[in-house]
Amino acid sequence: MYHLTGVTKCYRSGGDAVQALDGVALYVEDGGALVVQGAAGAGKSTLLRILGGLERPTRGSVELDGTDLATLTECRLARLRTESIGMVPSGGGLAPGFTARQNVAGALLPLRLRPADRWELAGEALREVGMAEQQDALAGELAAGGRQRVALARALVKRPTVLLADQPTAGLDAAARAEVAELFVRVWGERRLTCVVVTEDAALAGRAPRLATLAGGRVAAMVRYPFAATGG
């Protein structure tokens, strides 16, 4: 469960202060799914990085299951990211010269599992996202939709409690966008992870139980929809 209170993030650009987030308050229940939309520069990606413990707020609290991420040491933050948070970065973040399975197995290296166990779990994760038949293909040779599926498998392979995704359908054609959106909806429904997805894809946004709109670093609107794990 996420509980954000008064989250503000300021950066320095040259000699000027830039405020990316301004007093954001959000609540995402355990197993809840939230999509965040907004224009470029609204603070969407900054919010996602703060939720993932990759950045700290300038002010405010970011509680995950009762622990304020803003107060953790770098060591404890790194451990939490390794064990509990699966992230799908913008563009997928795959190593193009490695196979799909190698990319997914690599996410398990910090968990110090046996190589055979990492390899087996990577295969299972790729099957879950429909990429078993292409697991030996180089990531750089996969179609864009396939790369996003592999990126999702990489986030899911360690069985996290939280899934964060930054623009997972960006740059895909209409068919691939629909397939990846459906895959995320299925993950929401079956795994019951706490999910936050940043997207400008109206089709994906419309499938989420809750939709937040950021404007000027603030939550401008919040909408709740009936949730269906499958179907249109």
SS3 167: coil
Return the bridge partners of 231, or none: none
Q: Which pTM value belongs to this model?
A: 0.91
Q: What is the mean pLDDT of residues 206-218?
A: 88
CA 135 and chain centroid, separation:
22
Question: Per-residue confidence at 226, pLDDT binned at 50, 70, 90?
Answer: low
Residue identified by tokens 């179609």 is 143
Chain segment 74-118, per-residue pLDDT in tens: 999 999 999 999 999 988 999 999 999 999 999 999 998 999 999
**Domains delineated in the chain:** 2-224 (3.40.50.300)
Chain segment 142-193, per-residue pLDDT in tens: 999 999 999 999 999 999 999 999 999 999 999 999 999 999 989 888 888 9
Question: Per-residue confidence at 200, pLDDT binned at 50, 70, 90?
Answer: confident
Is residue 108 within 8 A of residue 158, CB to CB? The reply is yes
Cα dihedral angle (175, 177, 179, 185), rounded to 10 degrees?
Answer: -150
Beta strands in the chain (DSSP E): 2-13, 16-28, 33-38, 59-64, 67-68, 85-88, 162-166, 194-198, 210-215, 218-224
Cβ-based neighbours of 6, under 8 Å, separated by 6 or more = 23, 24, 25, 59, 60, 61
